């Protein structure tokens, strides 16, 4: 029996049954590798699909703009007591005015006369309703000379890009566990530095003059967690035994830090609560945020 595709010498020494067995084995191996490839392809496809839905900042807007309704406007009672939304309720586009997309005052220096020697001025969706759904916000940070500090903090919802306008800043951030690698840089006017989302970072004025920086953030409401305030200055104090073991400190030291930080948080909260900015454009001042608690 002729064996198509095989050399004549091989046909003479190989039985037909053996050739059939080889062909069957080849088909089985091909089917096996095809199935294994499918098993690998499925999770990869799902992973790619998951990444396609992931976003690095706020959800993309579904219209040209979605100006937030202020609490004093119609619908505030509904939004406050009956429903929470990811962001703000939208104003009727036909009623949007230029003031909804405007803020004035970032030219004014911040008061750095506080324990940390820094002051941040935030412009987010609370100051500019037109930022709603756009996924961006802005801040000005002022630093006192000889050690003005924006203390270690993190933004849970945003990456930050910082540009130095005046002065000399020592900046840095720490990578996540387990490496906890410190990355630092000395910045001068015109320099730009990036702080990835969620990582602990800081800025420190090492110059002899005031320093000014502006920060752009990839969220309309980036949030801020100042490490010292959160750990030692929480409104309901963390059990000192927990912090003593976590930081390897004497319990008396922990209690001292808690008493210090709680006082700072209280002072900042009172100033923010009772400050009332003037209504006239001439006398308008920037709203006071918590003093020196990082941005």
Each residue of 96-143: pLDDT tens digit?
999 999 999 999 999 999 999 999 999 999 999 999 989 999 999 999
pLDDT at 80 over 60: no
Q: How sure is the predictor about 76, in pLDDT bands with cuts at 50, 70 and 90? A: low
Same domain, 103 and 48: no
Task: Please give the pLDDT value at position 280.
Answer: 37
pLDDT (mean) for 221-226: 93
Task: List the CATH number of the domain containing 185.
Answer: 2.60.120.10
Domain holding 270, by residue range, is 99-274
What is the per-residue pLDDT for 66?
79
In the sheet that holds 149-154, the strands lie side by side as 182-187, 169-174, 200-205, 149-154, 225-226
Q: Which two tokens stand for residue 44?
A: 């990869």
| Overall domain count for the chain | 2
Do residue 130 and residue 194 come from a single domain? yes
Annotated binding site for oxalate: 150, 155, 160
pLDDT at 270: 45
Average pLDDT for residues 224-239, to the nearest whole number? Answer: 94
What confidence score (pLDDT) does residue 127 get? Answer: 95
Beta strand pairing status for 211-217 and 160-166? antiparallel
Count of CB atoms situated within 10 Å of the CB of 149: 19
Could you tell me the pTM of the whole model?
0.67
Helical segments of 132-250, H only: 227-232, 240-247
Distance CA(226)–CA(245), nearest Å, equals 21
Binding residues for Mn(2+): 153, 155, 160, 201
pLDDT of residue 68: 81
Would you say residue 290 lies in a domain?
no
174 and 256 inside one domain: yes
CA–CA distance, 172 with 174 (Å, rounded to integer): 7
Q: Which residues are annotated as a binding site?
A: 150, 153, 155, 160, 201
In a domain, 136, yes or no: yes
Q: What is the mean pLDDT of the segment spanning 256-264?
A: 83
């Amino acid at each position: 029996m002729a064996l198509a595709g095989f050399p004549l010498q091989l046909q003479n020494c190989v039985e037909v049954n053996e050739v059939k067995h080889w062909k069957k084995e080849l088909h089985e191996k091909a089917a096996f590798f095809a199935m294994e490839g499918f098993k690998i392809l499925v999770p990869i496809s799902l992973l790619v699909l998951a990444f396609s839905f992931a976003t690095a900042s706020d959800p993309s807007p579904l219209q040209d703009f979605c100006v937030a309704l202020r609490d004093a406007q119609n619908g505030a009672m509904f939004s406050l007591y009956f429903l929470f939304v990811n962001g703000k309720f939208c104003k009727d586009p036909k009623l949007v005015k230029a003031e909804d997309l405007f803020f004035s005052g970032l030219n004014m220096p911040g008061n750095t006369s506080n324990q940390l020697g820094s002051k941040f001025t935030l412009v987010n969706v609370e100051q500019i309703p037109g930022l709603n759904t756009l996924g961006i916000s802005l801040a000005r940070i002022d630093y006192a000379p000889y050690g003005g500090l924006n203390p270690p903090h993190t933004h849970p919802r945003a990456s930050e890009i910082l540009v130095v306008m005046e002065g000399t800043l020592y900046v840095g951030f720490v990578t996540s566990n387990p490496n906890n690698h410190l990355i630092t840089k000395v910045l001068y006017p015109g320099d730009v530095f990036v702080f990835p989302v969620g990582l602990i970072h800081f800025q420190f004025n090492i110059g002899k003059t005031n320093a000014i920086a502006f920060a752009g953030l990839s969220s309309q409401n980036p949030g801020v967690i100042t490490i010292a305030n959160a750990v030692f200055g929480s409104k309901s104090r963390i059990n000192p035994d927990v912090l003593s073991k976590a930081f390897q400190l004497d319990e008396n030291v922990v209690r001292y830090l808690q008493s210090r930080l709680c006082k700072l948080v209280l002072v900042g909260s009172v100033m923010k609560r009772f400050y009332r900015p003037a209504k006239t454009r001439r006398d308008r001042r920037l709203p006071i945020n918590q003093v020196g608690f990082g941005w």
